[in-house]
């Protein structure tokens, strides 16, 4: 009796350990199969509409998912608006004056609520919208795991600390991603999201005026629209990928080999360091980049989701119920 009891305890302990080690244990691609079968088509329609109005929005929606997952996990904490008694993540340095697409997510959420009220989380909408954005702009597709719930909290300090800034060194990038359970290869692949989108002058000013590992004509071109003086032209934009800024491809990595990475944190990926070989591999084999990007996006989407009875399904993405 004692031994069978002990065995049962051991089995339960092992199961609990497995559950704890698999943050995505309760996520699945068919989570809404019965409760909201139209969720994927509804989200895709909203993303398609937003990108047709402004192709840059695809990159903005992808970035929202990344900035959400790196802070407390993929729980839509980023979407919570500040109130008189609550400070969210939107005013953190990586987000202030730069996150975009909150209104698009709000619009999609309202459409999803019409189809199946109170069922689909804002966190899942972010994950699906990120995938749809990549596909619509010509990138690879994947089946999105869903079943996340929305947080009731947010963390300004974690947003400031966890999301690597554009001035990051290679070692800082590696450590920030490792802290989220993502490998160096995942980090390089996910950085390839910079094949789409724009950056503000304030994010690349130091790179184009101070860095030596930069193509001189490229630096001069960017300097024309980004004055050296802080506070002058801070919000002027430049494409992260100068070749195909609204197409998801491997040109970003080609730019790095030509020393035409826009951000300091881009060019460190190809600067005589440990990730040079990965960058070269993605240039030679675009399919390798696509498959690694997909794998890394799925891993990132698995970061500390709220499942079961944790969190809630928000009615409106910007505030708790």
Q: In this predicted model, what pLDDT tens digit does every residue of 228-241 receive, in sequence order?
A: 999 999 999 999 99
pLDDT at residue number 230: 94
Q: Is there a contact between 176 and 162 (Cβ–Cβ < 8 Å)? A: yes
pLDDT at residue number 199: 98
pLDDT at residue number 6: 44
pLDDT at residue number 25: 56
- pLDDT, one tens digit per residue, over 77-99 is 999 999 999 999 999 999 999 99
Query: What is the torsional sign of CA 66, 71, 73, 76?
Result: negative
Query: What is the torsional sign of CA 9, 14, 15, 19?
Result: positive
> Judging by DSSP bridges, how do beta strands 198-200 and 237-239 pair with one another?
antiparallel
67 tagged catalytic: yes
The whole-angstrom separation of Cα 301 and Cα 43 is 17
- Burial label for 221, CB within 10 Å (0-12, 13-18, 19+), is middle
> What count of other Cβ atoms lies within 10 Å of the Cβ of residue 285?
13
User: Tens-digit pLDDT profile for the chain (321 aa)?
Assistant: 344 444 444 444 444 444 444 445 589 999 999 999 999 999 999 999 999 999 999 999 999 999 999 999 999 999 999 999 999 999 999 999 999 999 999 999 999 999 999 999 999 999 999 999 999 999 999 999 999 999 999 999 999 999 999 999 999 999 999 999 999 999 999 999 999 999 999 999 999 999 999 999 999 999 999 999 999 999 999 999 999 999 999 999 999 999 999 999 999 999 999 999 999 999 999 999 999 999 999 999 999 999 999 999 999 999 999
Tell me which of 65, 67, 194, 264 is the catalytic residue: 67
pLDDT at residue number 26: 86
What is the share, in percent, of the chain residues with pLDDT greater than 70?
92
Measure CA of the first residue to CA of the last residue in the chain; give whole Å: 49
What are 150's two structure tokens? 């929305």
pLDDT at residue number 178: 98
pLDDT at residue number 2: 46
The whole-angstrom separation of Cα 56 and Cα 155 is 27
Q: Is there a contact between 202 and 235 (Cβ–Cβ < 8 Å)? A: yes
């Amino acid at each position: 009796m004692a031994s069978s009891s002990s065995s049962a305890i051991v089995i339960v302990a092992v199961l609990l350990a497995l559950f704890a080690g698999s943050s995505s244990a309760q996520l699945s691609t068919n989570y809404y199969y019965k409760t909201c079968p139209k969720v994927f088509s509804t989200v895709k329609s909203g993303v398609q509409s937003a990108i047709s109005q402004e192709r840059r929005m695809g990159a903005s929606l992808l970035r929202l998912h990344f900035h959400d997952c790196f802070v407390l996990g993929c729980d839509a904490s980023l979407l919570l608006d500040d109130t008189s008694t609550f400070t969210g993540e939107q005013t953190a340095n990586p987000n202030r004056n730069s996150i975009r697409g909150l209104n698009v997510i709000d619009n999609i959420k309202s459409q999803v609520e019409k189809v199946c009220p109170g069922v689909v989380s804002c966190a899942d909408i972010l994950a699906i919208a990120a995938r749809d954005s990549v596909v619509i702009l010509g990138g690879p597709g994947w089946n999105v795991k869903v079943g996340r719930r929305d947080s009731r909290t947010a963390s300004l300090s974690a947003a400031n600390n966890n999301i690597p800034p554009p001035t990051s060194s290679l070692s800082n990038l590696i450590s920030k991603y490792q802290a989220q359970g993502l490998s160096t290869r995942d980090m390089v692949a996910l950085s390839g999201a910079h094949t789409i989108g724009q950056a503000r002058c304030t994010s690349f000013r130091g790179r184009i005026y101070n860095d030596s590992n930069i193509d001189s004509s490229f630096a001069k071109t960017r300097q024309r629209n980004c004055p050296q003086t802080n506070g002058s032209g801070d919000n002027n934009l430049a494409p992260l990928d100068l070749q195909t800024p609204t197409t998801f491809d491997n040109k970003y990595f080609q730019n790095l080999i030509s020393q035409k990475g826009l951000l300091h944190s881009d060019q460190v990926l190809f600067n005589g360091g440990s990730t040079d070989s990965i960058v070269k591999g993605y240039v030679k084999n675009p399919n390798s980049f696509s498959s690694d990007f997909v794998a890394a996006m799925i891993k990132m989407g698995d970061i500390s989701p709220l499942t079961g009875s944790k969190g809630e399904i928000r009615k409106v993405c910007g505030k708790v119920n």
